[in-house]
Structure 1
Amino acid sequence: MFELLKAGGIVMVPIVLCSILALAIILERLWTLRPSRVAPPDVMAELWRWIKARELNGRKLKALQASSPTGRVLASGLMNAKHGREVMKESIEQEAAQVIHDLERFLNPLGTIATIAPLLGLLGTVIGMIKVFSRMQGAGAANIATLSGGISEALVTTAAGLTVAIPALIAHRYLIRRIEALVVGMEQEAIRLVEVVHGDREIDVEGA
């Protein structure tokens, strides 16, 4: 492994750094974007029980707000419910925008890594090829063995760049889809909350 890194030259340094950063972002986002963390089913069920039993108070609202991202959105709406439907909806939308921004944290750097890693690999290959042909020109004769060996070393950076970029791109697309699914669930909970609070919808024992 070390020999491959050495063969790739100085360009392998940013490629390796990109791989470490991409792995850290992927693991952190997978942990942060767990559905059980973003919208804990037990917290949501308890909220509907509080509303049905008319037990909602300031202390419970603070607990809801601190429980999860979805809890933050719903608590924001409940805190402004007395001001009418439109104000409640606006407060939910504003808080949801901030929550979505938090959910998307680090995804732009991950997408950037997926874009620049193969370019760094190509740059390393071009630099390597320039060195190969410079050595060939200095030797004054075409040595096939030297040329083929130099080319194989130069291609190491391209392979390394693609090895980093492909998983980063797949993870980026996957995380975007996961966020979209979480946001849809959050929107459904928020709509149901507005309808229940303003008497447009009944709530059953399960809060459905």
Structure 2
Amino acid sequence: MKRLFSILAITCLMAIGTVNANATTFATTTATVTSVTQDETAVAEEDLSFHQELKKRFIEGGPGFMGIVLLCLILGLAIAIERIIFLNLSTTNTRKLTQNVEDALNSGGIEAAKEVCRNTKGPVASIFYQGLDRANEDIDAAEKAVVAYGGVQMGQLEKNVSWISLFIALAPMLGFMGTVIGMIQAFDKIEAAGDMQPSLVAGGIKVALLTTVFGLIVAIILQIFYNYIIAKIDSIVNDMEDASITLMDLLVRHKK
């Protein structure tokens, strides 16, 4: 009987120990899962609160200068997008157009070539049309017409681009002005309190840094668009110059 009770007691102790071990493992697993879930929730909250944080920082920077910086960004992007759309629509397959004009000259003469140019969009086709329109005169007159109209088309391509460069320069200037004003406010608070305390100057310095950061961000964004637009204009102008030389050669061969 004593041996039986001993066996039963040992079995009970082992069962209790197993249950405790399982409970501990379950509790640890639950705590780990809960911690991971909380971390994921915190990350999700951070992702969701990005716009709120950006809005908060924008308001802390002051409505005056920050509003003007935002206006520079909106106007600059509007002009940049309009220019990009215009330049993409002005891009022409110069080789195909030149080949079509040459074929039209050989088959139908000047009027057929002019009709091809009328049905083609872009500054290169417009330059071709002006040169062909004076093809009955001498080559010098046609060349002068092409050069003059090329200048007009270049002006159309560069229209409003100077405003983007203005906003690029203006945005960081406004940010730096906000920085100076924020530092002046900080020193005014120090002078009024008669003591150098971090809490007095923290607000002014934060405003100064925020205005500078937002001004630089606006300038960087607009600078990227500006460089793309300038590169696109240069590409179209090079096509115009090459096409003008090709047109003069076509007219010379046609007259011969």
* TM-score bucket (shorter structure): 0.7 to 0.9
For residue 38 of structure 1, the aligned residue among 91, 99, 103 is 91
For residue 142 of structure 2, the aligned residue among 88, 93, 97 is 88
- Which of these two proteins has the greater Rg computed from alpha carbons? 2
Which stretches in structure 1 are left out of the alignment for 5+ residues?
A: 203-208
Q: Deviations over 1:90-142 (max 9, x none)?
A: 00011100000000011101111111211111001111111122122222322
State the partner residue of 2:117: 64
Report the secondary structure of 2:253's partner residue. coil
Give yes or no for the alignment of 1:197 onto 2:251.
yes
State the partner residue of 2:215: 161
User: C-alpha separation between the residues in 1 aligned to 2:87 and 2:255?
Assistant: 30
State the partner residue of 1:206: none
Shift of 1:192: 0.8
Which piece of structure 1 moves more, 72-81 or 1-10? 1-10
Give yes or no for the alignment of 1:4 onto 2:57.
yes
| TM-score for both structures, normalised by structure 2 | 0.71
Distance change >3 Å, CA 192–CA 159, structure 1 → 2: same
Distance change >3 Å, CA 67–CA 179, structure 1 → 2: same
**Contact (CA 8 Å) 1:7, 1:154: kept in 2 or not?**
no
Shift of 1:87: 0.4
User: C-alpha separation between the residues in 1 aligned to 2:81 and 2:236?
Assistant: 18
User: C-alpha separation between the residues in 2 aligned to 1:173 and 1:151?
Assistant: 33
**Contact (CA 8 Å) 2:105, 2:254: kept in 1 or not?**
no
User: C-alpha separation between the residues in 2 aligned to 1:183 and 1:37?
Assistant: 11
Q: Deviations over 1:154-188 (max 9, x none)?
A: 21111111111122223223322221121111111
Percentage identity across paired residues of the two chains:
27
Relative contact order (alpha carbons < 8 A, sep ≥ 6): 1 or 2 greater?
Answer: 1
Report the count of equivalent residues: 200
State the partner residue of 2:177: 123
Give yes or no for the alignment of 1:141 onto 2:198.
no
Shift of 1:197: 1.2
Shift of 1:56: 4.2
Give the superposed CA RMSD: 2.3
Which piece of structure 1 moves more, 6-15 or 90-99? 6-15
For residue 104 of structure 1, the aligned residue among 138, 158, 175 is 158
User: C-alpha separation between the residues in 2 aligned to 1:4 and 1:61?
Assistant: 59
Amino acid at match of 2:91: V
| TM-score for both structures, normalised by structure 1 | 0.86
